[in-house]
Amino acid sequence: MDLTALFKMSYGLYVVCADDGAQRAGCIVNTATQVTADPVQIMVAVHKDNVTTGVIERAGAFAVTVVDRTADMPYIGNFGFRSSDTYDKFGKYETRVSEVGAPYCPEHACALVACRLVETVDVGTHMLFIGEAEQIERLADTEPLTYAAYHSELKGKTPPKASSYQGQ
């Protein structure tokens, strides 16, 4: 199998956050997508070892923001290369609470979708969380950051817990 063929698949970048009452967590994912229109349902794939996974399961809700082209590597590193267990990812950025109780950071984001968790599917290394949207908002008039631009312009790397990781 030629795994480089998978580089042809298109993605955006998203920050998925949740709060279970005891802990706030969030992480970057490239694997988020709208799966139905009526009602609007969003799917995110989150690695089982990510702290965010347990927090989403306990909270029963999550917020997804669409990362925009103003995002820089410190912002992506904040959410994508650190652990919510040992570090407060919300300390450096303005943080708001969505209508489902999940936090989100409006900086470097152009849209918000906040969801109630309706289905969880175990796909091995990752959990698929499917949520029904209760709040959908435009946060800015900026363009979304594509995964391709993250690689070509920001020269960003793919960490091991990303669904698209292929080793070094």
Nearer to ligand FMN, 27 or 114 (CB): 27
* Residue 51 binds ligand FMN (CB under 6 A): yes
Q: Which residues pair with 14 in a beta bridge?
A: 29, 66
Binding of residue 152 to ligand FMN (CB under 6 A):
no
> Judged by CB under 6 A, does residue 65 bind ligand FMN?
no
Three-class secondary structure assignment of the chain: CCHHHHHHCCCECEEEEEECCCCEEEEEECCEEEEEECCEEEEEEEECCCHHHHHHHHHCEEEEEEEECCCCHHHHHHHHCCCCCCCCCCCCCCCEECCCCCEECCCCEEEEEEEEEEEEEECCCEEEEEEEEEEEEECCCCCECEHHHHHHCCCCCCCCCCCCCCCC
Chain residue at closest Cβ approach to ligand FMN: 80
In this complex, which beta carbon is closest to ligand FMN, that of residue 41 or of residue 78?
Answer: 78
| Closer to ligand FMN by Cβ: residue 28 or 112 | 28
Query: Which of 88, 96, 121, 159 contacts ligand FMN by CB under 6 A?
Result: 159
Q: What CA–CA distances, in Å, run from 48 to 53, 69, 165?
A: 6, 28, 15
Stretch that binds ligand FMN, among 49-57, 90-98, 101-109, 133-141 (CB under 6 A): 49-57
Per-residue binder mask for ligand FMN (CB under 6 A), 117-146, x = binder: ---------x--------------------
Q: Which of 17, 19, 41, 52 binds ligand FMN (CB under 6 A)?
A: 52
Q: What does the binding site for ligand FMN look like in residue numbers (CB under 6 A)?
A: 13, 25, 27-31, 45-47, 50-52, 76, 80-84, 126, 150, 156, 158-159, 161-163
